[in-house]
Amino acid sequence: MIEVLVVLVMVGLISGVLFQALERAYRLQSRFGTELFKVQQGQMAADWYRQAVQGLYPDQPDGQNLFYGDASGFSGLSSNPLGADYGIPTPITWKIKSHQQDGSTELTYIEDQRETPILIWRGNQARFIYLDDMLVQHDSWPPPLGLFPQLPKQIQLEASDAGEPLIIVASPKGPTAPLLRPQDIFGAQPASPSATPGQRSQDPTGFIP
């Protein structure tokens, strides 16, 4: 009888230790899974940001989507939009939105008037920085002084996530200035089909001012 009681006590002690170890293992697994999800989410958001920036495409000087950027966001054309088909220059906007009520900051992507939250972090310190060909930093683009192409050499997102630095760097891969059109070279518009033969004969270049 005494031996049976000793065995039962030992089994109870071992079971208690095992249950505590399992509980701790499940807690660590849950915490690790949450952190892994955050890392994966952050990496995916960074990839989306780089994709859109790499596809930035300069608009024509008289276009409605000339690139412009400041510390809180930028807008322009991208041939790598997140929502539309690749290869089609599409108007896009990236914005930084601060939420003072909970102390968080949100990176938002806007396309076709639809706003999509891409990344949220803890802290209100965040800004965009624009680098020129000499890798000189600017708070806005185009800079107020000097001759610069329409697109910067590089766009950096700098933020602080709960005290930890968060930096995402991306560079446009296409041309930084729009391709020249005939009217940009000759300062004239192509002859329209409705122009009369007499009008065309007055302009040997085939263009009507």
Q: Give one word for 135, left, alpha or beta, with left for phi > 0 and alpha for psi -120 to 50.
A: left
In this structure, are strands 114-122 and 126-131 parallel, antiparallel, or unpaired? unpaired
| CA distances in angstroms from 49 to 66, 108, 144, 150, 159, listed in the order given | 19, 10, 26, 19, 14
The single residue listed with the structure tokens 């610069």 is 148
Q: How many CB atoms neighbour CB 108 within 10 A? A: 16
The confidence score (pLDDT) of residue 13 equals 73
The DSSP element (H or E) to which 37 belongs, if any, is helix 2-54
Look up residue 167 and give its two tokens.
């930096």
Among residues 31, 30, 41, 47, the alpha carbon closest in space to that of 161 is found at 41
The confidence score (pLDDT) of residue 71 equals 96
**Is the Cβ–Cβ distance between 117 and 82 less than 8 Å?**
no
The DSSP element (H or E) to which 161 belongs, if any, is strand 154-161
Sheet strands side by side (includes 154-161)? 137-138, 126-131, 154-161, 164-170
| CA distances in angstroms from 146 to 66, 67, 143, 149, listed in the order given | 17, 16, 7, 10
**Is the Cβ–Cβ distance between 111 and 118 less than 8 Å?**
no
Q: Give one word for 163, left, alpha or beta, with left for phi > 0 and alpha for psi -120 to 50.
A: left
pTM: 0.69
pLDDT one digit per residue (tens) for the chain, 209 residues: 777 777 677 767 776 666 565 566 555 455 544 444 455 667 888 899 999 999 999 999 889 999 999 999 999 999 999 988 888 899 999 999 999 888 899 999 999 989 999 998 888 889 999 999 999 999 999 998 888 999 999 999 999 888 888 899 999 998 888 877 777 777 655 554 544 444 433 333 333 33
